[in-house]
């Protein structure tokens, strides 16, 4: 059983943390009830009377707190629906999963589940013949205060989430972590310098294909585990997909070459190491994470909203992410096992494609707005400043694509000078000559 794949699915589910919190509360309330009736009643004379609770008082306390916690939970769920509706209508539907998977949201609901289950089971285990209780009522009051603090935190968190600047900054930080993790995973997979002689030998062998047995988006790849799986079967795999691609059932997902052990090779064994789902996720999909910022920028440029400053804010964050991507970017194509034998071939996504997917829609809908087009050029300049010569070459070629979309005849002289000044700074950074 692939425990990493199971853990990936569990931690992305909305009910996982509340279930863990509820289970912990059952363990704690069982332990505290045993201590109350089996240990602390013997020490009743040594406990301050102000900390002791009678049966009637404990029953009233538990009932009131159960109602209060349910009320806070109901209000929290209502707040969640408001946030989801606002985020979907004003920003992007693709940002909904960020809020639902947000750890603060899940921990708060987990705390509510903990407090409710604790109070409910404490009421259920309350004995009629018990004169006083010590530990359970005291902990119930403490956990109720914790629930109140979590409720205040959640209201604060919800109000911040629907602020566009906070949302943009949060997406940018999460995507930055995705970039680091994704390329660290690739580097950890023993990328290998390919020998052209071996490539010619490989082309002479019989190539077989593995069809996909299900449709969906590729959400994650376990590189090291997949390499070990290929090593055990002595095969070389060639992937026909990237993380984030949609795979149609029946289309070739892998090609492979064997060394005469075809009967030992199970073509569907790859499923343990390729996670596919009904929707794209930003956990390892860099392009999809950047697409969220693009969606917010496009929504800000729509005639109904007309907020170019938000679009420029998104452009600044996109440029920052692409600069980080250029810093970590490595076009790994061949992956070897721990013995140096190539086991996986996967065409890398070119850096120019990240540039194109990040800006082409904004260019299309914002080409008549000088501030937006200038914002794109400034983002490109920021990328070029911190990147090496190869990335700068890609950035300059993309700059010419952006400049070609600007109709100089429609611009006033000052607008032309503004655009030309920014483009000239980019040309100087890339050590090129501006012809525009």
pLDDT digits over 301-346, tens only? Answer: 988 888 899 999 999 999 999 999 988 887 778 888 888 788 888 8
Comparing 61-65, 300-304, 389-393, which segment has the lowest mean pLDDT? 61-65
Identify whether the C-beta of residue 253 lies closer than 8 Å to the C-beta of residue 226.
no
Between CA 332 and CA 16 the distance in angstroms is 35
Q: How much of the chain, in percent, has pLDDT values that exceed 70? A: 85
362: left (phi over 0), alpha (psi -120 to 50) or beta: alpha
Q: Does residue 172 lie within any of the structural domains? A: no
Same domain, yes or no: 244 and 294: no
What mean pLDDT is predicted for residues 360-373? 93
Q: What is the dihedral of CA 144, 146, 148, 151, to 10 degrees?
A: -130
How much is the average pLDDT of 52-78? 82
Instruction: Kindly state the tokens that stand for 177.
Output: 């972590």
In a domain, 318, yes or no: yes
Q: Decide if 302 is inside a domain.
A: yes
pLDDT of residue 188: 46
Q: Which helix (H) or strand (E) holds 274?
A: strand 274-277
* Confidence (pLDDT) at 383: 95
Averaged pLDDT score across all residues of the chain: 83
Task: Taking residues 194-205, report their average pLDDT.
Answer: 64
Task: Specify the pLDDT at position 59.
Answer: 81
Closest CA to 275 of 244, 232, 239: 244
CA 209 to chain centre: 31
pLDDT at 42 over 50: yes
pLDDT value at position 184?
A: 64
Does one domain contain both 327 and 391? yes
Torsion on CA atoms 379, 383, 385, 389, rounded to nearest 10? -140
19 conformational bin, left if phi > 0, alpha if psi -120 to 50, beta if neither: alpha
Q: Exposed/middle/buried for 185, CB within 10 Å: 0-12, 13-18, 19+?
A: middle
Task: Give 353's contacts (C-beta < 8 A, 6+ positions apart).
Answer: none
Q: What tokens were used for 78?
A: 């209502």
Average pLDDT over residues 257-272: 66
* Domain finish residue from 235, 251, 277: 277
Are 300 and 256 part of one and the same domain? Answer: no
**Structural domain ending residue among the three candidates 253, 277, 301:** 277
The answer to whether residue 258 scores a pLDDT higher than 60 is yes
- Is 271 within 8 Å of 226 (Cβ atoms)? no
More confident residue, 21 or 338: 21
Specify if 173 maps to a domain.
Answer: no
Cβ within 8 Å of residue 197, ≥6 positions away = none
In the chain, the number of structural domains is 3
Work out the end-to-end distance of the chain between its first and last CA atoms, rounded to an integer number of angstroms: 60
Instruction: Please state, as a whole number, how many other Cβ atoms lie within 10 Å of the Cβ of residue 207.
Output: 12
Predicted confidence band at 200 (pLDDT cuts at 50, 70, 90)?
Answer: low
34 and 79 within one domain:
yes
Residue 353 neighbours by CB distance under 10 Å = 13
Same domain, 288 and 209: no
Residue 235 belongs to some domain of the structure: yes
Where helices occur in 12-54 by DSSP H, the ranges are 16-38
Task: Give the pLDDT band (50/70/90) at residue 431.
Answer: very high
pLDDT attached to residue 327:
85
Is pLDDT larger for residue 268 or for residue 228? Answer: 228
Q: Within 13 A of 133's CA, how many CA atoms are on the CB side? A: 28
Q: Kindly state whether residues 272 and 149 are assigned to the same domain.
A: no
CATH for 194: 3.90.1170.30
Are 150 and 19 part of one and the same domain?
yes
Shared domain check, 124 and 39: yes
Question: What is the dihedral angle through the alpha carbons of 158, 164, 166, 170, rounded to the nearest 10 degrees?
Answer: 100
Both 8 and 126 in one domain: the answer is: yes
Shared-domain flag, residues 21 and 157: yes
pLDDT of 263 reads 46
342 falls within a domain: no
**What is the secondary structure of 412-429 as a DSSP string?**
-HHHHHHHHHHHHHHHHH
Q: Is the pLDDT of residue 380 over 50?
A: yes
Cα–Cα distance between 163 and 351 in angstroms, integer? 31
Q: Is 174 part of a structural domain of the chain?
A: no
Query: Does position 236 have pLDDT exceeding 70, yes or no?
Result: yes
- Could you give the C-alpha distances from 318 to 197, 301, 409, 432, in angstroms and in order? 41, 16, 29, 23
Domain containing residue 234? 190-277
167 domain-assigned: no
Tokens linked to 181 = 């993790």
11 in the same domain as 143: yes
- Which pLDDT score, from 0 to 100, does residue 196 have? 58
The arithmetic mean of pLDDT across residues 21-27, rounded, is: 93
- SS3 call for 48: coil
Instruction: Output the CA torsion sign for 375, 380, 381, 385.
Output: positive
Residue 357 clears pLDDT 90, i.e. is over it: yes
The share of the chain scoring above pLDDT 90, in percent, equals 32
**How many CA atoms, within 13 angstroms, populate the side-chain half-sphere of residue 302?**
12
pLDDT in tens, 115-168: 889 888 888 887 766 556 667 888 888 988 999 999 999 898 888 888 888 889
Confidence of residue 410 (pLDDT cuts 50, 70, 90): confident
Alpha-helical (H) ranges within 248-307 are: 286-301
| 293 and 423 both lie in a single domain | yes
């Amino acid at each position: 059983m692939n425990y990493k794949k199971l853990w990936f699915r569990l931690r992305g589910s909305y009910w996982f943390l509340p279930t863990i919190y509820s289970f912990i509360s059952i363990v704690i309330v069982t332990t505290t009830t045993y201590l109350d009736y089996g240990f602390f009643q013997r020490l009743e004379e040594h406990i301050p009377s102000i900390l002791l609770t009678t049966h009637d008082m404990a029953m009233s306390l538990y009932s009131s707190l159960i109602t209060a916690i349910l009320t806070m939970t109901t209000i929290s769920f209502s707040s969640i629906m408001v946030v989801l509706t606002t985020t979907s209508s004003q920003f992007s539907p693709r940002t909904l999963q960020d809020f639902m998977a947000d750890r603060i949201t899940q921990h708060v609901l987990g705390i509510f589940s903990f407090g409710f289950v604790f109070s409910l089971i404490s009421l259920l285990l309350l004995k009629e013949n018990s004169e006083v209780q010590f530990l359970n009522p005291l902990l119930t009051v403490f956990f109720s205060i914790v629930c109140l603090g979590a409720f205040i935190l959640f209201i604060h968190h919800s109000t911040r989430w629907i602020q566009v600047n906070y949302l943009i900054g949060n997406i940018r930080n999460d995507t930055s972590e995705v970039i680091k993790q994704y390329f660290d995973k690739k580097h950890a997979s023993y990328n290998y310098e390919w020998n052209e002689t071996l490539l010619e030998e490989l082309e002479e062998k019989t190539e077989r294909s593995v069809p996909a047995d299900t449709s969906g988006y590729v959400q994650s790849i376990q590189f090291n585990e997949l390499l070990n799986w290929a090593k055990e079967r002595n095969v070389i795999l060639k992937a026909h997909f990237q993380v984030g691609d949609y795979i149609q059932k029946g289309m070739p997902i892998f090609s492979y070459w064997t060394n005469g052990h075809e009967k030992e090779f199970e073509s569907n064994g790859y499923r343990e190491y390729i996670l596919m789902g009904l929707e794209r996720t930003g956990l390892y999909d860099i392009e999809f994470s950047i697409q969220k910022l693009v969606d917010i920028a496009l929504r800000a440029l729509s005639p109904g909203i007309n907020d170019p400053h938000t679009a420029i804010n998104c452009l600044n964050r996109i440029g920052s992410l692409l600069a980080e991507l250029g810093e970590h970017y490595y076009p790994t194509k061949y992956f070897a096992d721990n013995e140096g034998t190539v086991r996986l071939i996967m065409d890398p996504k070119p850096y120019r494609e990240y540039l194109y997917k990040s800006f082409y829609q904004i260019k299309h809908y914002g080409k008549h707005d000088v501030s937006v087009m200038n914002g794109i050029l400034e983002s490109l300049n920021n990328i070029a400043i911190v990147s090496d010569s190869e990335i700068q070459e890609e950035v300059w070629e993309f700059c010419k694509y952006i400049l070609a979309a600007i109709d100089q005849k429609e611009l006033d002289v000052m607008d032309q000078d503004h655009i030309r000044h920014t483009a000239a700074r980019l040309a100087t950074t890339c050590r090129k000559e501006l012809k525009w």
